[in-house]
């Protein structure tokens, strides 16, 4: 791997930049949304295949984006608008002269439209898995939201709703309302509505109609049935992230209008910063300027695209290096399983092999039966060539030749490229790959693969995988199991339930269980692979106790695989398998289990594993994520572990959490996260996640956490209360999983550079605390947060540094000079533990500091932040900023300021010293008099 440390990391980037300069339209192929000349290009909206065809859906989407474009342009002060949008029409809809898909995939869409409903019915929402100012994953709309005009009464115009969600997705803003805390008590001990801005007016409404706000409070608790109904006509122009439905709202809250006291996610996640402050710090605004003049931007241009036939070409390296470390055998095992089990019905598949030259082994053949699958397997390469040289471009050229024979172009096709060579000329075909319209998934096998292989995948929207040479690694089969058609049809896709491999000693066993839940079970296959000729002794129990033996499996001695197909729908429950190594030497035994959805009426649980960035440089950690869901619903309380395999080191197992701390931003959103920083070597790392869930624990929460447009229950119009129709509800709170869940998914690969040779000093600080909260309890403030670790979110930090200030700007910009809180008795706990700390801020709650607008001297707001310190004095990033409003009664005795306290302390100390000195003098004089008296008395006696 030493050659990789010398590779110029910007070389391929320069080449791609040159290509784009020559052919500008290549900029948007597989590249996601780009901002150019104030206009967004490449926005992809995908309609799920399960959505019924409706002639009004596409026009309504167009109308929504067009309205959103002009609204966004004005809201951003003539900064950005939508220029080019693609709408991905499902293949299940009838053809209508739509353009052919190139490299657009449902899984890559920025906006998805489904018929999956949450507990709040048609709420549009954005899945955000990173922090403030970071891009989200996708925006979700239901088809009913886009078709039912009655819903605009509660949500507002669809274009304004889209801008609300776009701000979540693109700029990492969070909601300025809070359903769980609709009211709060401010610094003047007044009940206030959680809103932004505070100028939005309305009235309190109880069960029987309008009522004074006092009727909504019982001992500072809010009475059930109370709500705040807003006036339909307002003067306030902010904020889009609070109530986009109001006609007067046309702006984002800025520093002047932002309500810092409101207990909402925007304040929590963005440390009390306004939405506009976050937006103006974004890359979009750093690289653009407002458009001149008064002219509006052009309306958006729409392209309607639809997938054609599913076409896949396998492009397989057969150079002499494939003979090393059983690479060819492992490739054969994985590809056979892919062809027999994973690739979807009706797909056209071709096979190409290459060394220094490409060779077509099988022209496109459509899979309509098992016989078609077996025919394709018979064309797999069985031997390696004597030639060591590899030419990826020669293989791809033959691959394009194969797929173009179907329709004359490679548009919408998929190339699965597997190589173990160090071809330094991949750049020669990058232009061809970019313009082909084909998506290239790359699989690097071994440690000698050239670094820029992944550029082919990165620029065509493909996945990237790495397969280490470890004999017990199952990552080759995992990679092929992860590759789907990209249509978004979860009912057709193969779902991986199990993947394990171990080096088993002679006459020892590999034994485990896999859960078959009732959402899967169709087309279920158990695959066993081994190293030494002759299968191991296999014993499999189904949940009813039925036994399957080795002779029940279909064995392929040449490829060293044994496969058991379960007809019909597999029995839900625990399946137990035992693989017994009956040979006299150590060998790697592996088990893979896949299935498909049991019914189109029940969405199966899925897991998607991914990283924040696919490359990093030591000592920066990698953020690993697993999105665990059932449709749109997050699966909670699951056990999620990531297995990371470096090129030349032992695998690392890392548990992921959905606890809203450390790398995890939002608790219970179904996205499990963790920092990975055990960067032992340079090079590629492969990883996969395993999800298990006990049937005794509630799992699927029928609510969508995080960011979504608010539905307004009603308005005050002309003094009358006008209530909107209640939101459609799924009518479910939580689903009990009778069978539990087992899932496995490959997350692909990432690369690490700059790892020093040999031991290195501690360079990993504790992670940032992101969930700091402050609550006033009588005269004290109680802080709570999740403990970070000694190194990021692992271990135990050494100490905490807590500082407070009456100025938000001061604590944001000059944390080190804010007032230090005594934490000598606060000892950090193990990472992930809930910390609680109480202190008295009364010494710092009054003084000449500038008061925020609208506050009186009886209102005192303090801002608190914290950072953790490890045993080597490495400090975490400063936490989110929390606040507490301290109400001081006007009739209470005045509390001295910090400066007054210092002066008073000095004077008190001087006075105390004087009293002490005087006491000493008096005592001394008294003692002297007593001594003299004693001497006189004694002298009389002596005399």
- From residue 533, how far is each of 548, 579, 582 by CA, in Å? 21, 15, 11
The C-alpha atoms of residue 44 and residue 86 are separated, in whole angstroms, by 5
Instruction: For residue 238, give the DSSP letter.
Output: B
- From residue 899, how far is each of 50, 631, 845, 896, 913 by CA, in Å? 68, 59, 12, 8, 21
Residue 536 CA to its chain's centroid (Å): 40
Q: How far apart are the first and last CA of the chain?
A: 106
The C-alpha atoms of residue 230 and residue 716 are separated, in whole angstroms, by 6
The C-alpha atoms of residue 811 and residue 883 are separated, in whole angstroms, by 11
The C-alpha atoms of residue 529 and residue 547 are separated, in whole angstroms, by 19
Helix H or strand E encompassing 917? helix 898-942
**How many CA within 13 A on the CB side of residue 943?**
6
**Cβ–Cβ under 8 Å, residues 338 and 380:** no
The C-alpha atoms of residue 139 and residue 65 are separated, in whole angstroms, by 13
Q: Active site includes 165?
A: yes
DSSP, residue by residue, 770-810: ---EEEEETTEEEEEEE---SBBTBSB-SEEEEEEES-HHH
Instruction: Give the SS3 label for residue 937.
Output: helix
Show the tokens assigned to 472. 């017990």
Closest CA to 205 of 176, 171, 229: 229
Beta bridge partners of 734: 701
Residue among 63, 104, 135, 165 flagged as catalytic: 165
Instruction: Give the SS3 label for residue 243.
Output: coil
DSSP, residue by residue, 438-459: -EEEEEEESS-S-TTHHHHHHT
Instruction: Give the SS3 label for residue 765.
Output: coil
Show the tokens assigned to 359. 């060779």
Closest CA to 102 of 454, 359, 420, 434: 434
Name 442's Cβ contacts closer than 8 Å, sequence gap at least 6: 417, 418, 419, 453, 454, 456, 457, 462, 463, 464, 465
**Cβ–Cβ under 8 Å, residues 226 and 205:** yes
Beta bridge partners of 417: 315, 442
The C-alpha atoms of residue 475 and residue 649 are separated, in whole angstroms, by 15
Helix H or strand E encompassing 912? helix 898-942
The C-alpha atoms of residue 21 and residue 4 are separated, in whole angstroms, by 28
Instruction: Give the SS3 label for residue 155.
Output: helix
Using CA atoms of 271, 277, 282, 286 in order, give the dihedral in degrees to the nearest 10.
-140
> Which residue intervals of 23-157 are DSSP H helices?
57-75, 143-147, 152-155
The C-alpha atoms of residue 610 and residue 585 are separated, in whole angstroms, by 37
Closest CA to 556 of 589, 518, 529: 529
Angle subtended at Cα 656 by Cα 449 and Cα 461, rounded to the nearest 5 degrees? 40
Q: How many CB atoms lie within 10 A of CB 172?
A: 23
Closest CA to 674 of 767, 809, 591: 767
Catalytic annotation, residues = 165
């Amino acid at each position: 791997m030493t050659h990789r440390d010398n590779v110029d990391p910007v070389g391929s980037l320069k080449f791609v930049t040159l290509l784009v300069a020559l052919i500008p339209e290549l900029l948007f192929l597989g590249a996601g949304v780009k901002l150019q000349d104030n206009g967004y290009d490449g926005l992809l909206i995908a309609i799920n295949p399960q959505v019924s065809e409706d002639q009004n859906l596409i026009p309504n989407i167009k109308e929504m984006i067009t309205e959103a474009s002009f609204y966004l342009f004005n809201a951003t002060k003539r900064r950005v608008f939508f220029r080019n949008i693609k709408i991905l029409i499902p293949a299940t809809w009838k053809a209508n002269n739509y353009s052919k898909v190139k490299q657009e995939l449902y899984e890559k869409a920025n906006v998805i439209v489904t018929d999956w409903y949450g507990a709040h019915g048609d709420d549009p929402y954005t899945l955000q898995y990173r922090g403030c100012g970071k891009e989200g994953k996708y925006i979700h709309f239901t088809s009913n939201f886009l078709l039912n005009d009655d819903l605009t009464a509660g949500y507002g115009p669809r274009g304004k709703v889209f801008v609300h969600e776009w701000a979540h997705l693109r700029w990492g803003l969070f909601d300025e309302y809070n359903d769980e805390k609709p009211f709060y008590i401010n610094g003047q001990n007044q009940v206030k509505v959680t809103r932004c801005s505070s100028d939005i007016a309305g009235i309190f409404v109880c069960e029987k109609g309008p009522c004074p706000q006092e009727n909504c409070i019982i001992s500072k608790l809010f009475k059930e049935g109370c709500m705040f109904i807003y006036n339909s006509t307002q003067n306030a122009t902010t904020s889009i992230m609070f109530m986009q439905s109001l006609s007067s709202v046309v702006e984002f809250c800025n520093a002047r209008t932002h309500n810092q006291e409101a207990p909402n996610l925007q304040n929590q996640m963005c440390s009390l910063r306004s939405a506009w402050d976050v937006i103006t710090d974004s890359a979009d605004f750093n690289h653009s300027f407002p458009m001149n003049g008064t002219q509006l931007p052009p309306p958006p241009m729409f392209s309607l695209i639809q997938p054609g036939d599913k076409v896949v070409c396998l492009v397989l390296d057969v150079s002499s290096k494939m003979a090393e470390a059983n690479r060819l055998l492992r490739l054969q095992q994985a590809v056979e399983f892919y062809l027999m089990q994973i690739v979807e019905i009706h797909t056209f598949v071709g096979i190409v092999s290459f060394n220094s030259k490409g060779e077509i082994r099988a022209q496109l053949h459509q899979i309509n039966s098992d016989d078609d699958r077996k025919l394709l397997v018979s064309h797999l390469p069985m031997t390696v060539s004597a030639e060591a040289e590899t030419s990826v471009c020669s293989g791809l050229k033959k691959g394009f030749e194969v797929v173009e024979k179907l329709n004359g172009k490679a548009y919408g096709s998929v190339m699965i490229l597997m190589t173990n060579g160090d071809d330094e000329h991949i750049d020669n075909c990058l232009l061809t790959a970019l313009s082909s319209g084909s998506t290239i998934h790359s699989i690097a096998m071994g440690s000698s693969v050239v670094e820029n292989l992944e550029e082919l995948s990165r620029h065509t929207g493909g996945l990237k995988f790495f397969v280490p040479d470890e004999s017990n690694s199952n990552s080759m089969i995992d990679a092929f199991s992860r590759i789907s058609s990209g249509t978004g049809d979860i009912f057709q896709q193969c779902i991986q339930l199990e993947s394990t491999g171990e080096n088993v000693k002679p006459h020892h066993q590999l034994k485990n269980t896999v859960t078959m839940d009732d959402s899967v079970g169709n087309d279920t296959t158990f695959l066993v692979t081994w190293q030494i000729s002759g299968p191991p002794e296999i014993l499999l129990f189904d949940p009813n106790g039925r036994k399957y033996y080795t002779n029940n499996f279909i064995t392929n001695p040449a490829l060293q695989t044994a496969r058991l197909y379960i007809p019909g729908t597999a029995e839900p429950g625990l399946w137990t398998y035992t693989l017994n190594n009956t040979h006299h030497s150590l060998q790697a035994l592996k088990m893979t289990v896949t299935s498909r959805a049991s019914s189109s009426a029940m969405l199966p649980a899925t897991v998607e594993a991914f990283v924040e960035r696919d490359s990093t440089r030591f000592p920066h950690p990698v953020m690993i994520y697993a999105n665990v869901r059932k449709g749109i619903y997050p699966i909670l309380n699951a056990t999620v572990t990531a297995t990371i395999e470096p090129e030349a080191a032992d695998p690392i197992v890392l548990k992921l959490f959905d606890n809203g701390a450390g790398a995890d931003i939002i608790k219970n959103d179904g996205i499990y996260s963790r920092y990975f920083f055990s960067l032992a070597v340079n090079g590629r790392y492969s990883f996969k996640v395993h999800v298990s869930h006990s049937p005794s624990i509630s799992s699927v929460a029928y609510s969508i956490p995080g960011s979504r447009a608010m539905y307004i229950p009603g308005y005050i119009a002309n003094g009358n209360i006008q209530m909107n129709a209640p939101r459609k509800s799924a009518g479910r709170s939580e689903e009990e999983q009778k069978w539990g869940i087992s899932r496995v998914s490959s997350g692909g690969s990432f690369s690490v550079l700059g790892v020093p040779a040999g031991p290195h000093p501690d360079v990993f600080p504790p992670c940032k605390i992101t969930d700091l909260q402050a609550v006033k309890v009588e005269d004290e403030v109680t802080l709570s947060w999740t403990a970070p670790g000694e190194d990021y979110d692992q271990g135990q930090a050494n100490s905490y540094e807590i500082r407070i200030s009456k100025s938000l700007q001061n604590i944001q910009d000059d944390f080190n000079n804010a007032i230090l809180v005594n934490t000598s008795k606060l000892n950090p706990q193990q990472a992930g533990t809930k910390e609680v700390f109480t202190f008295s801020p009364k010494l710092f709650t009054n003084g000449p500091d500038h008061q925020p607008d609208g506050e009186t001297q009886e209102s005192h707001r303090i801002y608190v932040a914290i950072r953790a310190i490890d045993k080597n004095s490495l400090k975490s990033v400063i936490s989110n900023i929390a606040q507490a409003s301290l109400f001081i009664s006007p009739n209470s005795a005045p509390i001295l300021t910090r400066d007054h306290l210092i002066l008073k302390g000095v004077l008190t100390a001087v006075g105390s010293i004087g009293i002490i000195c005087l006491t000493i003098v008096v005592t001394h004089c008294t003692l002297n008099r007593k001594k003299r008296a004693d001497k006189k008395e004694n002298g009389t006696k002596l005399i």
